[in-house]
């Protein structure tokens, strides 16, 4: 049968994972519009802000901050700076930056997508949903935006609506690992770990699956009490430092008074994938 709902503590942790998936879903959206840099140069970023070390992130944030101060209307600088601020845990400042960029570029689809991401990270979920909806165009729907709508709906406690969005996104982009991962995490939020694992294994099997998708699978397996298997997945294809950090995170998640082990023990029968 399906497990009962997660405790408030573990649910908050998983809502943080859901917010991270909004970032994953929207990661490519801000580059869909043509860059309109007018003055100065844009600091180069060797990797997404979410994948940087603390020192790399601090250096990039400082450089982007100076570029933003010199040209606050530039959409590329603004979006990158907001991403760096969000990855640094400065969600309120990230949102403030994106508000200004959105005012300067009110019809830019990529800017609206990034603005929605900043709103979601700051906890403004209904506003994020409205902004992402504004960024969407019915004649040219973007699967990333549809999947991001699902992630916000999950955080709003509307799993049926969220999963409908994920399936709409899969119709636009079949077998996309980030969508399958979002769908899996939707089932985690409702306590159905077996179905979550089914979707996450499908996500990991896709050629385009990245480390963030594999870490979600490791989390779900660990939540079911199969920690050695989870640890093996968490350590794969990472540097020793990254692997240690991921394993430490898994252990911290699983140390909450065995709440997830108790949850997993109730989830004895797998559910079919619809």
Task: Report pLDDT digits (tens) over 20-73.
Answer: 555 555 555 544 333 443 444 677 666 677 777 788 889 999 999 999 999 999
Q: Is 142 left (phi over 0), alpha (psi -120 to 50) or beta?
A: beta
Cα distance between residue 38 and residue 53, in whole Å: 30
* pLDDT in the model for residue 4: 42
Cα distance between residue 153 and residue 22, in whole Å: 11
* pLDDT in the model for residue 248: 72
Handedness of CA 233, 237, 238, 239 (dihedral sign): positive
Nearest-10 Cα torsion for 157, 49, 184, 175: 130
Cα distance between residue 212 and residue 270, in whole Å: 24
| Residue 260 reports pLDDT greater than 70 | no
Residues 6+ positions from 127 with CB-CB distance below 8 Å: 119
Q: Which residue has the higher pLDDT, 228 or 5?
A: 228
Percent of the chain at pLDDT exceeding 90: 47
Highest mean pLDDT among 136-140, 177-181, 235-239: 177-181
Tell me which DSSP letter residue 27 carries.
T
| Residue 158 reports pLDDT greater than 70 | yes
Domains of the chain: 1-21+166-274 (1.25.40), 33-141 (1.25.40.10)
pTM assigned to the model: 0.75
Q: Which of 35-49, 180-194, 203-217 has the lowest mean pLDDT?
A: 35-49
**Around 273, how many Cα atoms within 13 Å sit in the side-chain half-sphere?**
14
* pLDDT in the model for residue 261: 47
Cα distance between residue 82 and residue 168, in whole Å: 28
* Average pLDDT score, the chain: 79
| Residue 253 reports pLDDT greater than 80 | no
* pLDDT in the model for residue 168: 97
* pLDDT in the model for residue 98: 95
Cα distance between residue 108 and residue 104, in whole Å: 9
Where residue 19 falls among pLDDT bands split at 50, 70, 90?
low
Q: What is the pLDDT of residues 125-145, one digit of tens each?
A: 999 999 999 999 889 999 999
Residues 6+ positions from 219 with CB-CB distance below 8 Å: 17, 188, 230, 250, 253
Q: Is 199 helix (H, G, I), strand (E, B) or coil?
A: helix
Q: Which of 2-6, 169-173, 224-228 has the lowest mean pLDDT?
A: 2-6
Q: Which residue has the higher pLDDT, 122 or 36?
A: 122
Residues 6+ positions from 202 with CB-CB distance below 8 Å: 175, 180
Percent of the chain at pLDDT exceeding 70: 72
In this structure, are residues 145 and 29 in contact, taking their beta carbons and an 8 Å threshold? yes
User: Mean per-residue pLDDT for 73-92?
Assistant: 92
Q: Which of 34-48, 143-157, 173-187, 229-243 has the lowest mean pLDDT?
A: 34-48
């Amino acid at each position: 049968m399906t497990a009962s709902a997660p405790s408030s503590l573990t649910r908050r942790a998983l809502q943080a994972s859901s917010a991270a998936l909004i970032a994953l879903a929207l990661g490519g959206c801000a580059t869909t519009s043509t860059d309109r840099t007018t003055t100065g140069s844009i600091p180069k970023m060797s990797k997404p802000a979410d994948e940087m070390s603390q020192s790399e992130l601090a250096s990039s944030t400082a450089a982007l901050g100076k570029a933003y101060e010199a040209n606050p209307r530039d959409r590329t600088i603004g979006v990158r700076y907001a991403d760096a601020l969000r990855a640094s845990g400065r969600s309120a400042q990230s949102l403030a930056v994106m508000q200004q960029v959105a005012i300067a570029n009110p019809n830019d689809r990529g800017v609206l997508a990034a603005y929605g991401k900043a709103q979601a990270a700051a906890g403004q979920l209904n506003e994020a949903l409205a902004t992402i909806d504004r960024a969407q165009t019915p004649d040219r729907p973007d699967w990333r935006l549809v999947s991001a709508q699902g992630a916000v709906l999950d955080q709003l406690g509307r799993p049926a609506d969220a999963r409908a969005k994920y399936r709409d996104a899969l119709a636009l982009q079949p077998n996309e690992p980030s969508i399958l991962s979002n769908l899996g995490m939707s089932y985690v939020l409702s306590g159905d770990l077996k179905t979550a694992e089914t979707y996450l294994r499908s996500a990991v099997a896709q050629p385009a699956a990245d480390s963030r998708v594999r870490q979600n699978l490791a989390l779900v397996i660990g939540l079911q009490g199969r920690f050695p298997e989870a640890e093996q997945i968490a350590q794969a294809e990472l540097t020793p430092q990254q692997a240690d950090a991921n394993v430490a995170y898994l252990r911290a998640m699983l140390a909450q008074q065995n709440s997830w082990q108790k949850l997993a023990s109730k989830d004895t029968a797998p559910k079919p994938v619809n």
